[in-house]
Amino acid sequence: MTDLAWIDAALTSARPQALGALLRYFRDLDTAEEAYQNACLRALRTWPQNGPPRDATAWLILVARNSGIDDARRRGKQQALPPDEAISDIDDAESELAERLDGSHYRDDILRLLFICCHPDLQPTQQIALALRIVSGLGLKQIARAFLVSEAAMEQRITRAKAAVAKAGVPFETPGAVERSERLAAVAAMIYLIFNEGYSASGEAIGSRTPLCDEAIRLARLLLRLFAAEPEIMGLLSLMLLQHARVAARYDADGGIVLLDDQDRGRWNRQMIAEGMALIDKAMRHRRSGPYQVQAAIAALHSGAAHPGETDWTQIELLYRTLEVQQPSPVVTLNRAVAVSKVQGPQAALDLIAPLGRRLDGYFNYHGVRGALLLQLGRTREAHEAFDRAIALAGTTAEAAHIRMHIDRLMADCTAATTAPGLK
Amino acid sequence: MLYAILCYHDEDTVGSWSREHEDAVMAKLAVVQEKFDAQGRLGPVARLLPTTAATTLRKDGDPPLVIDGPFAETKEQLLGFYIIEATGLDDALEAARELGRANPGGSYEIRPVGLFRPGSVAT
């Protein structure tokens, strides 16, 4: 491994904790970021020669803090910065600081840092952009590419988000138990948003957006390390691992999405599945169910089936019932209908989704599922109408082409017993 | 004599490796392991899932207490281990150095093995 690769990984992994501590110290996001940036530059200069410090995070916090204080002084008195050598011998101070870092502070530091990124005044896209910039330290160029906007537009979006956060005020007091769990829930939702930005990519956007899934998983691991006994955080991490494990099988050569039933299961990432299964297993021991755990359990049932035919649809249907109670939404009911069609047949599923028509009329997947169910019942003309509607509503031409391909195949083998389109 | 080489590293850092870097490290390690294997001195090798997947059973109470997370909160975590045959400590250290050149960073703890049963798990 080259020195630079090691340093890069160390700087990335230290960032949330270091920035969280600096934010508590300086109480200003820009100052904290600039100070951390300076510390990283010094690390790149001195670590290759002096070797890595024993505690990289403590080193970075200390150096960044000194640099921030120096900057403030310089602005005040025009005083010169101390040379690099003056701060290279900080061993004693480092261990003393590391001692203090092991305390309870840093848990809340990182949570606060993540929490200010999901301030309710911010739009979801602003939340994601801010978190990727501040917490993950991704470059503007990379974030802009993932959102298909120019760097200038992304910079403006982040600047606006920062201004909104500064105006709203950052909560610095140590949170109470209730507030902490509210913050945790908001942060979990934001992490899942990041994941879905990556997961929903198709076509040309796959290359630039799939890394967002890895980043979301990294953030969830970080969060779970801090809150080791939170079953919903275990559920969130499990859900993302189980979904992301399919990434190599989820796209065809043109970047179109391959449905679950059609995926080459040999290309699923077994290690990620093992970790996801272990986590949902752990979470369920707590007997405190929640939407992430239920969704992870559904994903786990899909992952555990060697062939689509082995899928335990009865159990999946029950889990969707639970999810409907915990998080009522017509889309959840639509997903349950797919499970119902596998267990009780197409008519029962069709009856279930009939009342959703008004609310989901603009959702292409609703018409896709409905069309497939009608086709299974031999109501070909109605099925065609539903499919045409789905194609008309598809967001992209790739999506429309994909639906059309799927329909062609359904039509081809509709004489045999067919299946409804599965979940992605 | 059998030795366990216990691998410790900051799992946050390892988790921040890029996929290319991860693949490169695993490929380099595979070369060293194949060499040991060909020499007939490589025992079981395990890479552990992250400590977030760990559960600890504290046996000092009755009933034992189940705790989420690893046994100890440490700066570097136990991420895996090798069992190797070596003529003595110098030889075991040399094997560890060779693995370390393929995968720098973190530490290896070299521990002589007292009892070894290969077990019956099929891999």
Residues of A in contact with B75 (CB under 8 A): 55
CB atoms within 10 A of CB A95: 12
Contact between A1 and B10 using a beta-carbon 8 Å cutoff: no
**Structure tokens belonging to residue B38:** 């060909």
Residues of B in contact with A218 (CB under 8 A): 15-16
pLDDT of A414 reads: 59
pLDDT classification of A420: cutoffs 50, 70, 90: very low
Of residues A291 and A14, which shows the higher confidence score? A291
Q: Which of A263-272, A389-398, B98-107 has the lowest mean pLDDT?
A: A389-398
Give the 3-state secondary structure percentages of chain A, helix then strand then coil, rounded to 5.
Answer: 75, 0, 25
Contact between B25 and A237 using a beta-carbon 8 Å cutoff: no
Taking residues B32-41, report their average pLDDT: 97
| DSSP code, position A377 | T
Residues of B in contact with A242 (CB under 8 A): none
Contact between B15 and A221 using a beta-carbon 8 Å cutoff: yes
Residues of B in contact with A13 (CB under 8 A): 10, 12-13, 15-16
Closest CA to A280 of A269, A267, A292: A292
Distance from C-alpha of A306 to C-alpha of A295, rounded to nearest angstrom: 19
Of residues A253 and A352, which shows the higher confidence score? A352
Torsion-angle region of residue A287: left (phi > 0), alpha (psi -120 to 50) or beta?
Answer: left
Taking residues B39-52, report their average pLDDT: 96
Contact between A13 and B52 using a beta-carbon 8 Å cutoff: no
pLDDT of B112 reads: 97
Q: Which of A5-19, A92-106, A120-134 has the lowest mean pLDDT?
A: A92-106
- Mean of the per-residue pLDDT values for chain B? 93
Task: Mutation target for A interface from B29, B47, B52, B75: give the one with most A CBs within 10 A.
Answer: B52
Distance from C-alpha of A282 to C-alpha of B66, rounded to nearest angstrom: 10
**Structure tokens belonging to residue A389:** 């509607």
Q: For A21-71, write each residue's pLDDT tens digit.
A: 999 888 888 899 999 999 999 999 999 888 878 888 889 999 999 988 888
Residues of A in contact with B15 (CB under 8 A): 13, 218, 221
Contact between B53 and A278 using a beta-carbon 8 Å cutoff: yes
Q: For A48-58, write each residue's pLDDT tens digit.
A: 888 878 888 88
Smallest CA–CA distance from B51 into chain A, residue: A225
CB A222 within 8 A of CB A136: no
pLDDT of A197 reads: 87
CA distances to A33, A226, A234 from A276, rounded to whole Å, are 33, 18, 9
Taking residues A408-418, report their average pLDDT: 61
pLDDT of A77 reads: 61
| DSSP code, position A252 | -
- Mean of the per-residue pLDDT values for chain A? 86
pLDDT of A423 reads: 44
Strands (E), chain B: 2-9, 42-47, 55-58, 65-68, 77-85, 107-112
Q: Is A213 a residue whose pLDDT tops 70?
A: yes
Taking residues A190-194, report their average pLDDT: 92
CB atoms within 10 A of CB A330: 17
Edge-to-edge strand list for the sheet holding B42-47: B42-47, B77-85, B2-9, B107-112
Contact between A228 and B103 using a beta-carbon 8 Å cutoff: no
Residue in B14, B50, B55 nearest the CB of A282: B55
Of residues A181 and A263, which shows the higher confidence score? A263
- The segment with the largest mean pLDDT, out of A60-69, A362-371, B42-51, is B42-51
Q: Is A321 a residue whose pLDDT tops 70?
A: yes
Q: Any CB–CB contact under 8 A between B12 and chain A?
A: yes
Residue in B13, B19, B66 nearest the CB of A10: B13
Residues in CB range of A64: below 8 A, 6 or more apart: A18, A22, A32, A35, A36, A38, A39
Smallest CA–CA distance from B75 into chain A, residue: A55
Contact between B49 and A274 using a beta-carbon 8 Å cutoff: yes
B8 CA: distance to closest CA in chain A (Å): 14
Task: Mutation target for A interface from B13, B20, B67: give the one with most A CBs within 10 A.
Answer: B13
Contact between A285 and B52 using a beta-carbon 8 Å cutoff: no
Contact between B52 and A225 using a beta-carbon 8 Å cutoff: yes
Taking residues A111-118, report their average pLDDT: 87
pLDDT of A12 reads: 87
CB atoms within 10 A of CB A395: 10
Contact between A221 and B50 using a beta-carbon 8 Å cutoff: yes
Q: Is A17 a residue whose pLDDT tops 60?
A: yes
Distance from C-alpha of A216 to C-alpha of A212, rounded to nearest angstrom: 6
Task: Mutation target for A interface from B12, B20, B76, B79: give the one with most A CBs within 10 A.
Answer: B12
Share of chain A above pLDDT 90, in %: 46
pLDDT classification of A111: cutoffs 50, 70, 90: confident
pLDDT of A101 reads: 54
Residues of B in contact with A228 (CB under 8 A): 52, 68-69
Longest dimension (CA), chain A: 85
pLDDT classification of A318: cutoffs 50, 70, 90: very high
Smallest CA–CA distance from B106 into chain A, residue: A54
B120 phi and psi angles, rounded to 5 deg: -125, 10
Distance from C-alpha of A233 to C-alpha of A68, rounded to nearest angstrom: 34
Q: Is B66 a residue whose pLDDT tops 90?
A: yes
Distance from C-alpha of A373 to C-alpha of A375, rounded to nearest angstrom: 5
Of residues A259 and B123, which shows the higher confidence score? A259
pLDDT of A407 reads: 76
Residue in B66, B67, B105 nearest the CB of A6: B105
Residues of A in contact with B67 (CB under 8 A): 229
pLDDT of A3 reads: 61
pLDDT of A418 reads: 44
pLDDT of A83 reads: 56
Closest CA to A361 of A392, A332, A337, A338: A392
Taking residues A275-296, report their average pLDDT: 97
pLDDT classification of A413: cutoffs 50, 70, 90: low
CB atoms within 10 A of CB B109: 12
pLDDT classification of A226: cutoffs 50, 70, 90: confident
A174 CA: distance to closest CA in chain B (Å): 22
Handedness of CA A271, A277, A281, A282 (dihedral sign): positive
Amino acid identity for residue A58 in this structure: A
Handedness of CA A137, A138, A141, A143 (dihedral sign): negative
Residue in A5, A222, A275 nearest the CB of B53: A275
Of residues A416 and A138, which shows the higher confidence score? A138
Distance from C-alpha of A408 to C-alpha of A25, rounded to nearest angstrom: 61
Token match 């969704």: residue? Answer: A295
Report pTM.
0.86
Residues of A in contact with B18 (CB under 8 A): 5
Handedness of CA A393, A395, A396, A400 (dihedral sign): negative
A225 CA: distance to closest CA in chain B (Å): 6
Task: Mutation target for B interface from A221, A242, A284: give the one with most B CBs within 10 A.
Answer: A221
